[in-house]
Structure 1
Amino acid sequence: MLKSKLMTYIDAVSRHGSVRRAAEVLNIAPSAVNRQILEFERAIGTPLFDRIPRGMKLTSAGEVVVSHIRRMDGEIALMDARLRDLRGLQSGTVRLLAASGLMSSFVAQVVAQFCEAHPLLDLKIDTLPSDDIVRLVGEGDADLGLSFDLPRDPDLITLASMHQPLGVVVAPDHPLAPRPALRLSDCVGERLILPPKGSGIRVLLDVAFAETRIEPNIVIESNSVQLRKALVREGVGITILAAVDLIGDVSDGVLSHVPLADPHVPGQTLKLVARAKGTLEPLQAKLAEAFRKAFDGLGAIA
């Protein structure tokens, strides 16, 4: 075992904020964890943690040690993955975080093809808001992040990026469906089904509504892209989405996506990110490459 018990204990306490919670996760006695950390602190002559009423907080020395431990974890994982590749195996674990709206279309297609080619893949996928994706990928708790308009962060590197113009999503028999392009003013009076205030598309739209002095007729708010599309199919109203959110829906003829050719609506940027200071394992890098290639094909559905 390349990683010592001491490093495991220090890492666990830093992640869980207390000796007790770390010991529960590791399934060992809290006294064993505390004793080894105290012995190490005495040996180096400085504490790794501030003992505060609410738990354990890393000191500056502790941050140095934990940073080293996690870098070493990444190198060990990379070595293990490369050894598996040398043995001809295509197994490994990939942790992917993505915006919920991308799951049933874009992510599903890429992952389905990738899993078929790599049947031993252990893929863990979760949906989270953009801020959480940035934080968890930057901290090394996820390998890849995929979302719209991810904020810039020094802990992240962009692996692929593509601008996605927004468009009005309507039922195929809606009067706006045959139009080659629309402006926001064309949607005046329409029943709008939009995400809640403060979310990505909604921020762009609220700014555009204010700039154009349009009073939107918002009848339903939901952060579920699937629900918004389902309500459009049922004729409840119309919504606004990027083209990538409509993969399959337009080709199957169940929805129409009419581009918004409006200077007040800039569109969104879809990004695939990874940890800047980390190194992707071979299988993680292969999945990232699969997403890069899929990005190249997004122009065909815009």
Structure 2
Amino acid sequence: MPGISRRTYEISVQDHRLQYLSLSARHGSMRAAADYLGVAASSISRQIKLLERALSIDLVEKGSYKVQLTEAGQLLIEYYERRVVEHQELLARLAELRSTRTSTIRIVVAQGLLAVRFLKAFSTVSTKYPDINIEMKAADGDEAERLVLNDGAQLGLLFDTAQDVRLKLLATSRQPFSLFMSEKHPLAREEAIWPVQISGERLVLPDAGSRLLEIIHSVFTERGLPLNIVMKSPSIQVILDSVAQGMGVTMLPSILGHPAAAIGGIVERPILSDELSDIRLHLVSRAGRRMTPAALALQNALVREMHRLDEEQSAQPPARG
């Protein structure tokens, strides 16, 4: 506006005078601030006066032994301390981005999932971030959830996780159990299998501690059906090889056994059970966890794969029984 002089006041967050003012207010006096910094009290007093002169406004109440900020002084300190926090957060974020070149992504997966279609997602991220290390650990049940909750793993691919508010559900896919058996097995002639038909069969199942075994035990116990388990193994491949050799039959989510059935020698049949038809595969992380760009890329790739899996399963009506 004509006739009015305007003056621009420059304030830098790195201005040491702002630090002097902030510390004087925090410690109660300029001398205490000087002792904290190891400088002369007169130096701090002089710099604060220069700051007041530069801004053309009082920042400290006059005539008080203890430093009392004026309204302008309080506004300035709030601005300074806010900018310091933002500056520190920026530096931490930049350091985090730099560290992604050599960082490690840890993911815990249910038994058997290491060898199936999720490997494509791992390969895609590894190609995009060639210096990233991806560590995969096979675990089930409580152990797997503890790894995610205690930051032992950034992500978890797990069957039927507990509804823990500390876990963030990123994606889910219905993965019903099927019965897998040798193509020469008598039940291979059936289109679908009832649990009562399975009860008398020789079973090769995941070992103790497996979430899958817990689910199977729960369903058959509720129906009063005994399980004739002849072998347990932590390896899904060993289980399927044993089935192919005629040692027995096995119950697994389709995603685990389907690749072997597609090769030949093993056949897959749906199990007529509401409980075994509604098993879910979950992609989870700890709620509130901050992901690096590489970990976020892997998360997004896995979410896309989970959505494709769910679309495939949705096209197939669940077995009921």
TM band (smaller chain): 0.5 to 0.7
- The corresponding residue for 1:237 is 248
* Structure 1 pair 126–202 and aligned structure 2 pair: CA distance change class (3 A): closer
Match of 1:253 among 246, 264, 273: 264
Matched, 1:153 2:168: no
Indicate the structure whose relative CO is greater, using CA pairs within 8 Å and at least 6 residues apart: 1
1:229 CA displacement: 1.1
Structure 1 residues 77, 281: closer, same or farther in 2, change over 3 A?
Answer: farther
4+ long deviations beyond 6 Å: 74-77
Aligned CA distance change for structure 1 residues 191 and 78 (closer, same or farther; 3 Å): farther
Is 1:94 the counterpart of 2:105? The answer is yes
Q: Give runs of aligned pairs for residues 259-274 of structure 1, distance below 5 A.
A: 259-274=270-285
Inter-CA distance 211–84: structure 2 relative to 1 (3 Å threshold)? closer
Asked if 1:210 is matched to 2:221, the reply is: yes
TM-score by length of 2: 0.62
Structure 1 residues 298 and 250: alpha-carbon distance in aligned structure 2, compared to 1, 3 A threshold:
farther
* Alignment gaps of 5+ in structure 2: 1-88, 317-321
Task: For 2:91 and 2:113, locate their aligned partners in 1 and report how far apart those are by CA, in whole Å.
Answer: 32
By how many angstroms is 1:96 displaced? 1.0
Distance in 1 of aligned mates of 2:90 and 2:246: 53
Q: Residue 42 of structure 1 corresponds to which residue in structure 2?
A: none
1:130 is the counterpart of 2:141: yes
- Is it true that 1:79 corresponds to 2:90 in the alignment? no
Query: For residues 156-235 of structure 1, what are the structure 2 equivalents within 5 Å?
Result: 156-197=167-208, 199-235=210-246
Q: Which moved more, 1:246-255 or 1:96-105?
A: 246-255
- Aligned mates of 1:264, 1:132 — CA distance in 2: 23
Change (3 A) 1:224 1:261: same
Report the number of matched residues.
226
Partner of 2:309: 298
Amino acid corresponding to residue 253 of structure 2 in structure 1: A
The corresponding residue for 2:24 is none
Tell me: CA distance 1:140–1:188, structure 2 relative to 1, closer, same or farther (3 Å).
closer
Residue by residue over 1:29-61, the C-alpha shift from the partner in whole angstroms, topping out at 9 and shown as x without a partner, is: xxxxxxxxxxxxxxxxxxxxxxxxxxxxxxxxx
Cα deviation, 1:83-127, whole Å, max 9, x if unaligned, reads 589xxxx76431111122211224434323443444332111112
Per-residue displacement from partner, 1:251-290 (whole Å, max 9, x unpaired)? 2224322111223535421111112122111111110111
Q: Match of 1:250, SS?
A: helix
Residue 248 (structure 1) shift: 2.3
Q: Secondary structure at the match of 1:100?
A: coil
SS of residue in 2 equivalent to 1:248:
helix
Give ranges in structure 1 of 5+ residues lacking alignment: 1-73
Over 3 Å counting, the alpha-carbon distance change for 1:209 and 1:84 in structure 2 is closer
Secondary structure, counterpart of 2:264 in structure 1: coil
On the 8 A contact 1:105/1:247 being kept in 2, the answer is no
Partner of 1:26: none
The answer to whether the Cα contact below 8 Å between 2:191 and 2:269 also exists between their aligned partners in 1 is yes
Counterpart CA distance in 1 for 2:120 and 2:251 is 22
User: Is contact 1:188-1:214 (8 Å) kept?
Assistant: yes
CA RMSD of aligned residues (A): 2.9
- Partner in structure 1 of residue 291 of structure 2: 280
Structure 1 residue 238, shift from structure 2 partner: 0.4
**Per-residue CA shift, 1:148-169, capped at 9, x if unaligned?**
1122223221111112111101
Once the two structures are TM-superposed, the CA of residue 194 in structure 1 deviates from its matched residue by 1.8
Q: 1:76 to 1:222 in 2, by over 3 A?
A: farther
Q: Distance in 2 between matches of 1:130 and 1:215?
A: 23
